[in-house]
Amino acid sequence: MTETAASSIDNPSVASPISNASGDEYVQGWRVVATLSALFLVSMISQIDRMLPFIMAEAIKTDLSLSDTQIGLVTGIAFAVCYTLLSLPLARVSDRGSPRFVLVSCALVWSAMTALGGIAASFLFLAFTRFGVAFGEAGATPAGHAIIARKIRPERRGLAIGLFALGIPLGTMVGFAVGGAISDTLGWRAALIGAGSIGGLIALLTFVFVGPTPPLERTAASSQPFLRSSLQLLSSPGFRWLFVGAVISGFAAAPFYAFATTFLIRSHGYTASEAGLAFGLLQGLMGIIGTLVGGRLFDRAVRSGTGRVLGPPGVLFLIASVTMTAALFAPIGWISILLLVPTMLSFAFLLPWGFGAAHLVAGKGKEAMATSLVMIGSGLLGPALGPLIVGMISDAATAAQIPNGLGLGLLTVPVASILTGLAMLIANRRIAVSLRQR
């Protein structure tokens, strides 16, 4: 990162190397509400489309005669590879061009592919549609963060990122609760087709609600190839440890969401509707608390000037690792569900802190790229391999007649949570040192 960009973080009065062509054009009044509402809806429907196959895994498995390993492939690598490989170039387009165009186009693509998943008759076609959903969703978060960076004033961005991220837990809640109910009554195909149709409508509304985004002036720094810019950002010790933590967190989050409700169904006898409702409502509640409180606390941490912007989520991940382990061996269903709550909270709480810290290190005009790198870290190896590893352990334990095989596989979640917490605490210290040296 250039010295000018670095100084602009500590002193807002210093000109950034990349600025709005026509000066500050941050939205005010009802336009703030309209912009953030549209971004929230896009974020929520994106998460619904992503989560639906998880709660409907048992129904899809039975209908298409799939194994747990194939379910792990569909919910893991089929989505993660395309999602992460495309996020960086789409982020580059968002930073240098129109993030509104990127966001709306991506929303239309993933909505269409979600609906196509509802007519899948084979494992290969279903995997193809998940690739398509990933193709569209790859640009959603970077483009959304680029819109926030250009339209929302700096002192409110932590909360704005939190509101945008709020769509993730609420989308998870709706996806699990409503998706499970629709799967039990109308079938999993109807759920996918319906979600895709609603997503297309939200994409069109977003085009109207999110007005034209102020263009950014191009400079030599902003015209660097995105690979060189990415490597330059990764050379920062603080961002590098944040990236490591993001990678490890993927090994906790992806298996958790892919198999937690299936674990409750198999181990405690819940129906898909019961497991989806309980898990979805709690995840939604923890998401509201985590993203909104996390966003406000992040803004407060930035204003304090200490540079310590990742400590609280690091500690929470350490706590969640203990309760998650206990949940996998709890003899009573409702106790197991309650013990999952800290893990749900930790994922939501990290979002505004992690993305906000990434933006702080990257500087103005590179927010989408920083978001993309964090997404690549959390979205490639963990989602690609985590559910697959859990599925393989479960299949192997079942073949060996070992009880609670899925629970044994899910032990990867608390192990990854411990390592994520430690990485975030190291990043917290490194970022604080770098910010004090500016």
- pLDDT, residue 78, reads 63
pLDDT tens digit sequence for 271-280: 877 887 888 7
Residues 357-367 have a mean pLDDT of 83
The gap from C-alpha 102 to its chain's centroid, in whole angstroms, comes to 18
Percent of the chain with pLDDT over 90: 34
Q: Which pLDDT band, with edges at 50, 70 and 90, does 400 fall under?
A: confident
Question: If you search the block for the tokens 């993305």, which residue do you land on?
Answer: 355
Rounded distance between C-alpha atoms, residue 2 and residue 362, angstroms? 10
Rounded distance between C-alpha atoms, residue 121 and residue 64, angstroms? 7
| Helix runs in 235-366, H state only | 237-268, 272-304, 311-327, 333-339, 341-362
Name the amino acid, one letter, at 111: S
pLDDT tens digit sequence for 300-323: 888 887 888 899 999 999 999 999
The top-scoring range by mean pLDDT among 27-36, 161-170, 254-263, 420-429 is 420-429
Domains of the chain, start order: 25-210+226-436 (1.20.1250.20)
- Span of 171-175, 202-206, 289-293 with lowest mean pLDDT: 171-175
Structure tokens at 403: 């009880």
What angle, 0 to 180 degrees and rounded to 10, lies between the N-to-C axes of helices 57-64 and 123-137?
140
More confidently predicted of 436 and 62 = 62
CB neighbour burial string for 283-311, b if at least 16 within 10 angstroms, e if fewer: bbbbbbebbbbbbebbbebbeeeebbbbb
DSSP code per residue over 86-110: HHHHHHHHHHHS-HHHHHHHHHHHH
Q: Residue 93: is its pLDDT beyond 60?
A: yes
- Cβ pair 123, 64 in contact under 8 A: yes
Rounded distance between C-alpha atoms, residue 5 and residue 92, angstroms? 17
Residues 404-430 have a mean pLDDT of 95
Question: If you search the block for the tokens 């810019």, which residue do you land on?
Answer: 229
What pTM does this model have? Answer: 0.74
pLDDT tens digit sequence for 198-213: 999 999 999 988 877 7
Nearest to 189 by CA among 135, 129, 261, 138: 129
- pLDDT, residue 217, reads 58
Rounded distance between C-alpha atoms, residue 381 and residue 254, angstroms? 10
Rounded distance between C-alpha atoms, residue 419 and residue 249, angstroms? 8
Structure tokens at 108: 């239309």
The gap from C-alpha 195 to its chain's centroid, in whole angstroms, comes to 19
Q: Residue 23: is its pLDDT beyond 60?
A: no
Q: Residue 179: is its pLDDT beyond 90?
A: no
Nearest to 436 by CA among 6, 1, 4: 6
Q: Residue 126: is its pLDDT beyond 80?
A: yes
Neighbour tally for 273: CB within 10 Å: 19
Residues 227-237 have a mean pLDDT of 83
- The CA-based angle 130-254-279, given to 5 degrees, is 100
CA distances from 51 to 22, 117, 261 (A): 40, 13, 11
| 66 SS3 class | coil
Name the amino acid, one letter, at 55: I
